[in-house]
Amino acid sequence: MTKPLWAPWRLEYIQTADEQDVCLFCNAVESHDDEAALVVLRAAHSVVLVNKFPYASGHLMVAPRRHVGDFAELRDDEALEVHRLAAQGIGALRQMYEPQGYNLGWNLGRVAGAGVVDHVHLHVVPRWNGDTNFMPVLADVKVIPEHLLETRRRLAEAWPP
């Protein structure tokens, strides 16, 4: 059995994400500062971000540019591009970290762990054997072995053509 990753800082995020005035993903789409918005890549219909509250180093999110909260309302061009970008993200992560596996997932609804419920997004989380052991013992201490800006820069550079 694979143990679920335990990332208590995610709870803080989930509890506060709804209190933000601006949608995280729309903000990234509209931002002109890739570093500030942690944007790795912008494509025609979607955008790739580094997760500010990662489960692991290299935790990416791919979101449609359009503010859409209903998974069923994704257009074909959006759904296709989001998945193609996830596949490219795996390519970049493989180059950077050589993970032993990946979790890809859509968290739909608060109860399913979504921090932002009204703008759907696909998580790409690299996994290693024993990575649950990296997780913090103290509830308010994050142990992420790489700075987010560094992750963003390296991913952008490693992104396959």
* Catalytic sites, residue numbers: 121
Q: Which of 25, 55, 97, 102 binds Zn ion (CB under 5 A)?
A: 25
Q: Which of 67, 75, 84, 142 binds Zn ion (CB under 5 A)?
A: 67
**Strands, sheet with 39-42, edge to edge from the N-terminal-most edge strand:** 39-42, 46-50, 60-64, 122-127, 101-106
Q: What are the C-alpha distances in Å from 158 to residues 16, 59, 96, 114?
A: 32, 14, 7, 28
| Position 17 contacts Zn ion (CB under 5 A) | no
Q: Judged by CB under 5 A, which stretch of 20-28, 41-49, 129-137, 142-150 contacts Zn ion? A: 20-28
For residues 4 and 97, give the distance between their C-alpha atoms in angstroms, rounded to a whole number.
20
Question: Which residue lies nearest Zn ion, judged by its C-beta?
Answer: 23
**Positions that interact with Zn ion (CB under 5 A):** 23, 25-26, 67, 119
